[in-house]
Amino acid sequence: MDAIAERYQRFARAEAAGRSVLYETLAKHVAESPDSLTFLSRLPQDRQQPNLLFAALRLIAGTPASVREFDHALEEHANAIAEVMLTRTTQTNEPGRCAALLPAQARIEGPLAVIEVGASAGLCLLPDAYGYDWGRQSLAPPARSDSAATLFQCNASEDTPLPVRHPEIVWRSGLDLNPLDVTNEEDVAWLETLVWPEHYERLARLRKAVGIARTERPRVVAGDLRQDLQALIAEAPGDATVVVFHTAVLSYVADQVERDEFAAEMIGDARVKWLSNEGPRIFPQFTEAAGPVREDMFLLAVNGQPMAWTGPHGQEIRWI
């Protein structure tokens, strides 16, 4: 129970503060609520995440306006909320992350064959279908997506190398334990619920990205990164540079030894350029070389070399 409480305090402090008043308030409340902690303690450890609890409760009972409404919803709908938490995962398919990934992707010589690990519905497999605004430079959406054009804003540091054109992607595929389908209304409803309640712009962008994905239909296959990634890499065309990337995925591989084995495999694969965009705790060996740690941001590394600190939703990039 103490470990769960600390997890929610850390979420309030490092993730929700300054980004969601409601989630910061609810996380602090859960950390001090015996009833909430008891409810969470009955779930497997990998199903106790704040994002998963808050999204499941909102899906079942709507968005609470106060801790009192939260407590009432959890008491009245405990079984239904637990069922969602046991059957769904936090597949936050935030397409805005493409704005923070693109400066690193664009530095890789193409044409590219891109593979996203933990692809959810595949929205981040379409960086060449969106437009970008980094403040001092922008990149317009390509003509093919004008019908649902979306522009992702990202605050870039002055030394961030910004691309002047979209990458040439000739092949793309995603890998996910449970791929979501952009044509399935229940899957889309879950994606929308994973957007934090005050983030109206993110929700609007998500809906536009879903519209684009329904036309582009990026391929996402079911599989485990520890067992099935190599087979997917082998499918990529031989005349393209294979780029494997992921964001906020390796935290679901709880064993640090397994994480490090995956990193060694990616770094040692001469066919692959590997982009890791994860919390600073995931690969401590990369974080050590990145300078002062930013607990509220992700560390973007290319083949294990720290490149930038990035906002969790793609809203910021600080080049190292």
Rounded mean pLDDT of 133-143?
A: 92
- Cα(230)–Cα(225) distance, integer angstroms: 8
**Could you read off the pLDDT of 165-208 as tens digits, one per residue?**
999 999 999 999 999 999 999 999 999 999 999 999 999 999 99
Quick one: which of 202, 204, 207, 233 has its CA closest to 313?
A: 202
pLDDT at 92: 85
pLDDT over 60 at 248, yes or no: yes
- Cα(103)–Cα(307) distance, integer angstroms: 10
Question: Containing H/E element for 309?
Answer: strand 305-310
User: Residues spanned by CATH 3.40.50 within the chain?
Assistant: 95-319
**Amino acid in position 110:** G
pLDDT at 148: 61
- Cα(105)–Cα(274) distance, integer angstroms: 10
pLDDT over 90 at 296, yes or no: no
The proportion of the chain whose per-residue pLDDT surpasses 90, expressed as a percent, equals 89
**Could you read off the pLDDT of 61-75 as tens digits, one per residue?**
999 999 999 999 999
Output b/e per residue, 61-71; b: 16+ Cβ within 10 A.
bebbeebeebb
**What architecture is the 95-319 domain classified under in CATH?**
3-Layer(aba) Sandwich (3.40)
Lookup result for tokens 């929308």? 192
pLDDT over 70 at 3, yes or no: yes
- Cα(320)–Cα(309) distance, integer angstroms: 7
